[in-house]
Structure 1
Amino acid sequence: MSTALVTGGSRGIGRAVAVRFAQAGYDVAFCYSKDEKGARETADLIRAAGKEPLVYRADVSDEKSVREMMESVFSLEILVNNAGVALYKEIAETTLEEWKDLFSVNVEGAFLCTRYAAEKMKKRGGGSIVNVASVWGETGGSCEAAYSASKAALIGFTKAAAKELAPCGIRVNCVSAGIVHTDMNAHLNRDELEDFLSQIPVKRMGTCEEIAESVLFLAQSRYITGEILRVNGGLLV
């Protein structure tokens, strides 16, 4: 049996990733922080795909919470570091506490999960880690300095971890997602959304399912590591 663990699986990209891995035949575990209703809905979708999920309420920024979750996941082959939070504010309005809170989830959460997952993967002879970043981590997003910086850090972490863990049989890759139809983009008004779409060559937002397909591809590709796969409709080429 091979298990895929997805963080932030109660909605959006995380939910789509968890369901896609179940459809591909993996045993699936996922965690969520607050959205219990969403977690139940994800679990039902995984069951509909023929798998019984392991569901954890875990704060990825808390080491004790991550350690306890990892200790109870068996046959871990794939980790998807998807849990993340966004912040749409000008730099002058962003508090240090908000900056730290965002980094604690988006960066420290990925670090903690990778640290504990890698130890389990080493014992089983290898595995795959896929981090979910953003195009803003590559280009920077206006009024999203904290979010952009955290995703840039995640991209750098991906490259470093890939080099370090490759000799252990562990591959580490990253999906750099473009503008995707999720709750994170709910702050955009009609004019802002149309402006964004005008900059995308394919003239539409991406879907969570398209990101999930890319995550599965990287997880299963045996000769790819340290890669930043851009899934952005041509927004950045």
Structure 2
Amino acid sequence: MSLSTTTAARWVERWERQQQLYAVDREERFEVIADLVEHVTRDRAVPLVLDLGSGPGCLAARLAARLPTAEVIAVDADPLLLELGSAHYGPALRYVRTVIGEPGWLDALALERPVDAVVSTTALHYLGTRTLRGVYRELAGLLRPGGILINGDHISPDSTKVSELAIDIGRRRSERTAVPLVEDWDSWWAGAAADPELARLLAHREDTGRPHCEGNDLTLSGHVTLLRDAGFDHVGPVWQVGPSHVLAALR
């Protein structure tokens, strides 16, 4: 039984709302990432873009709308989120289920040409430092010369004191701009579990298991070092609000 577009739209909309709790100025971050991808691919007829840890594809769908000739691949490990996105956004995106960083994870993408841009938002902090080092190296190998890796995530400044300031600035910014939110991560999943139409997908999610969350405590300079070691020639932050950064790395 296929997931209805009405159900998918409802749960993707709820996903968007709860994610606002976890990313300061989320919409502006998405716009900045799209600006970067558009800049780097402006001379490409059919850009190839990967969104890693895409969830249902909220950022990927925005990129596809901004770049209508692009091939955009949404990559995630969660079958429920991928199915919700596929039913909601339709053929605008290609969805691939794979666990980022596991041996052979890139094989599932079935890529036939170099990638123009890899993006990720609020996802790569789940990877351990050793795993992330390997992922950065693999992505450098996928990208064409002049291609870009963009990581929008919670990335702390190097100074502990400055990091404390950034966190407070981010909190204040959220309080000034946020709309009233009634849902968080746990309540979204609890609500999904209570929806009979999602039962099959949730069962499949439990059967296939969920990737282990190692996590890392890399500061900004830690990410920059890993990216340069991986083969990226030009690395640095291009946007920041509080602890929320957009980090760009060019091949």
TM range (shorter): 0.3 to 0.5
Using the size of structure 1 for normalisation, the TM-score is 0.43
Larger-Rg structure: 2
Asked which structure has the greater RCO (Cα within 8 Å, sep 6+), the reply is: 2
